């Protein structure tokens, strides 16, 4: 398995605090069957991780993993919080795209709303040949309250990634149900761990894929599990036409 969203680099954000914790995470990842991780440290008001510092940290961690005999590959990435300067930051190569390929980039939204400029900004990013991937949309309050906002973005070519912990219920039943609805309506394209440690924010990637197969079918699991492979190879992601979530079905409330 490939994990495209993980905070495994030591001492750079609220993920692994030090190298020891990074190695603990790496061993746990291998135990789960993960072979490749894209390290995606935060880039926001609290954590200003530069492109060069991430690349250096990835190289150092890969060297240690090889020395320790841990069969895990780390690739460079970043989790930038959306901001009005993001397009310029990408043009100036201040922001690190996933695997440093200039094809896909993670976008983190605020947890409680979507900025008014989001749609136009994500469109402009696509004009530059880079596809935005909105991370953990299932935990955004505005998207939960109005799923049509996400439908419009996906309908215009934006991709999304749900968190494995959401699918197994670790963020509560409502977020779990909404995550299922995103899959059912072809509004998400990846599952990733967003792991920060091996306890409170662990991987749970295998369990999430198993849950998808149980709730849906093996074909859905295969597509979601294959898309990370396509991503790291710089290929086109498998998608289906998105469908709007009808409010009367949303979380069984209406």
The CATH number of the structural domain formed by 2-252 is 3.20.20.140
The confidence score (pLDDT) of residue 246 equals 87
Averaged pLDDT, 221-232: 98
Q: Residues 77-104: pLDDT tens digits? A: 999 999 999 999 999 999 999 999 999 9
pTM above 0.85, yes or no: yes
Distances (CA, A) of 182 to 86, 147, 159, 167: 26, 9, 12, 11
Q: Residues 176-202: pLDDT tens digits? A: 999 999 999 999 999 999 999 999 999
Could you tell me the two tokens for 208?
Answer: 């999430």
CA dist 110 and 168 (Å) reads 23
Q: Check pLDDT > 90 for residue 73.
A: yes
Averaged pLDDT, 216-241: 97
CA dist 175 and 25 (Å) reads 25
Under DSSP, the state recorded for 247 is G
Q: Check pLDDT > 90 for residue 130.
A: yes
């Amino acid at each position: 398995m490939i994990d495209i969203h993980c905070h495994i680099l030591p001492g750079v954000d609220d993920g692994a605090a030090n190298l020891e914790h990074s190695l603990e995470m790496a061993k746990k990842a291998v135990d789960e069957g993960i072979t490749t991780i894209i390290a995606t440290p935060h880039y926001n008001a609290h954590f200003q991780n530069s492109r060069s510092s991430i690349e250096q940290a990835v190289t150092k961690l890969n060297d240690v993993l090889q020395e320790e005999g841990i069969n895990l590959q780390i690739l460079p990435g970043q989790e930038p919080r959306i901001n009005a300067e993001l397009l310029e930051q990408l043009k100036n190569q201040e922001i690190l795209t996933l695997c440093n390929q200039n094809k896909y980039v993670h976008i983190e939204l605020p947890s409680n709303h979507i900025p008014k400029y989001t749609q136009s900004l994500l469109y402009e990013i696509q004009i530059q040949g880079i596809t935005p991937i909105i991370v953990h949309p299932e935990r955004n309050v505005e998207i939960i309250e109005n799923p049509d906002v996400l439908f419009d973005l996906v309908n215009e070519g934006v991709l999304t990634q749900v968190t494995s912990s959401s699918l197994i219920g670790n963020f509560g039943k409502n977020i779990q149900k909404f995550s299922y609805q995103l899959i059912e309506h072809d509004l998400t394209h990846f599952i990733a761990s967003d792991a920060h440690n091996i306890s409170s924010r662990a991987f749970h990637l295998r369990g999430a894929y198993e849950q998808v197969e149980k709730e849906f079918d093996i074909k859905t699991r295969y597509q979601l599990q294959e898309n990370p492979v396509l991503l790291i190879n710089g290929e086109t992601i498998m998608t289906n036409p998105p469908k709007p979530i009808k409010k009367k079905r949303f979380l069984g409330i209406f």
